[in-house]
Amino acid sequence: MSFLFIFIALLLSSCVGSSTATDSTCGNKVVSTIVVDKTGSGKFRTVQAAIDSVGDMNSQWIKIKVKRGVYVEKVTIPLRKPCIIVEGDGQRVTTITYDAHEATDVSSTFTSYPSHIVVRNLTIMNTYNRLSFRSKPSWQIKPAVAVAVYGDKSAFYNCDFLGLQDTLWDVQGRHHFKDCYIEGAIDFIFGSGQSVYEDCHINATAGALASEVTFGYITAQARTSVSDPSGFVFLRGSVSGTTNVYLGRAYGPFSRVVFIQTDLASVVIPEGWHPWHYAGHEMSFTYAEVECKGAGSDISKRVPWIAKLQSFYSKQRFSTSTFIDQDGWISNIPPF
């Protein structure tokens, strides 16, 4: 991961906050649909061309319907284009993929900057690190982001995110991930987002590179202060895989990650959590597991500084409605 991301996130947040279009509602209906089909039957052959066609500071929902197929391209939704829905034909049916790596701020296959963005029914992948053969003997595992989300009030439904290191960069803002599949091995959900992962399947695996990754980390959350509202909440869902993993390591001195009623498989390392570069700040972290189940849910060998949160308190404070949907933005997302 790049340690420049905090500066970038703060810079972009100031831009987002100044936009009245992204702060106001987009309505609750799709007013126009743009079809993308790589075979040529749609208006555009690439996802990026369809996004580019949307008018600046759009204030009504525009759907970009991406037909089945594999789209090899880097996709960026610019800050000036809110109120966009990108919808595929299904997970592993519509796939957007690319092979970039190195710095996190330039490697992402799919990058979203504005508020009020919805992505659903598709797969987004970064293929770097995922191939078992590389032509150059100097090749090594590097950060390779599949998705980077900067904008507030963004939602991802029925999506697959595939990578190995730094798969999902949850940069900043309130985000709702529901019924998603997220795959990786090293810090593969990271950033300063204020997000709920609801009924998501987390798969910890290094795939063909298992011999090079002896263990990994699911989250690297970067909360910076006690007043910072960010944090990752995993509500129900499951953690499984083939690579042993910590549930998280600290990417900030007040890192916050909570698992509630999640099915944790035996791949979870007994200690559960790691301070990383913030050893000495452990009492400032909020790492908690509430009513979890499964072979990996035994907390008897967890680090002594995990938070002991009351079940009722956790369910209320970290519910979707309380943690990210205080103003009801999710209910304004048009239905499938």
Active site residues: 166, 187
Closest CA to 169 of 5, 285, 11, 4: 5
Q: Is residue 123 part of a domain?
A: yes
Closest CA to 8 of 203, 234, 169: 169
Q: What pLDDT is attached to residue 1? A: 57
Closest CA to 182 of 210, 215, 206, 204: 204
Banded model confidence at residue 137, pLDDT cuts 50, 70, 90: low
Higher-confidence residue of 6 and 76: namely 76
CB 64 within 8 A of CB 85: yes
Helical H segments across the chain, by residue range: 5-17, 20-23, 47-52, 104-107, 311-317, 320-323
* Percent of residues, the chain, with pLDDT higher than 70: 90
Q: Is residue 41 part of a domain?
A: no
CATH code of the domain containing 199: 2.160.20.10
Q: Is residue 292 part of a domain?
A: yes
Cα 304 to Cα 234, 274, 286, 308: the distances in Å are 21, 11, 12, 10
Strands of the sheet with 245-250, listed across from one edge: 75-77, 110-112, 147-149, 168-170, 186-191, 216-221, 245-250, 273-274
Q: What pLDDT is attached to residue 132? A: 52
Average pLDDT over residues 161-181: 98
Average pLDDT over residues 262-285: 97
Phi, psi values for residue 183, rounded to 5°: -125, 140
Tokens (6 digits) for 239: 């953690």
Domain, as residue range, for 77:
5-24+71-332
Q: Is residue 46 part of a domain?
A: no
Q: Is the pLDDT of residue 274 over 90?
A: yes
Banded model confidence at residue 103, pLDDT cuts 50, 70, 90: confident
For the chain, give percent helix, strand, coil, nearest 5.
15, 35, 50
Q: Is residue 147 part of a domain?
A: yes
Banded model confidence at residue 69, pLDDT cuts 50, 70, 90: very high
Return d(Cα 179, Cα 161) in angstroms, integer: 12
Indicate the average pLDDT of the chain.
Answer: 91
Higher-confidence residue of 57 and 17: namely 57
Residue-wise pLDDT tens digits, 18-50: 333 333 589 999 999 999 999 999 999 999 999
Average pLDDT over residues 248-273: 98
Amino acid at 219: T
Element at 35 (helix H, strand E):
strand 30-36
pTM equals 0.91
Q: Is residue 231 part of a domain?
A: yes
Return d(Cα 4, Cα 297) in angstroms, integer: 34
Q: What pLDDT is attached to residue 9? A: 45
Amino acid at 274: H
Q: What pLDDT is attached to residue 208? A: 85
Give the three-state DSSP class for 330.
helix
Q: Is residue 112 part of a domain?
A: yes
Residue-wise pLDDT tens digits, 194-239: 999 999 999 999 988 888 899 999 999 999 999 999 999 999 999 9
User: How are beta strands 30-36 and 61-66 bridged, if at all?
Assistant: parallel
Return d(Cα 43, Cα 65) in angstroms, integer: 10
Q: What pLDDT is attached to residue 216? A: 97
Average pLDDT over residues 67-94: 98
Report DSSP letters for 107-161, one per residue.
H-SEEE-SSSEEEEEEEEEE-TT--S--SSTT-------SEEE-SSSEEEEEEEE
Q: How many residues does the chain have?
A: 336
Q: Is residue 44 part of a domain?
A: no
CB 1 within 8 A of CB 143: yes
Residue 283 CB-half CA count within 13 A: 1
Higher-confidence residue of 1 and 131: namely 131
Residue-wise pLDDT tens digits, 224-233: 999 999 999 9
Closest CA to 206 of 165, 169, 237, 240: 165
Cα angle 301, 256, 195; round to 5:
125
Total domains, the chain: 1
Banded model confidence at residue 313, pLDDT cuts 50, 70, 90: confident
Average pLDDT over residues 118-125: 98
Residue-wise pLDDT tens digits, 184-196: 999 999 999 999 9
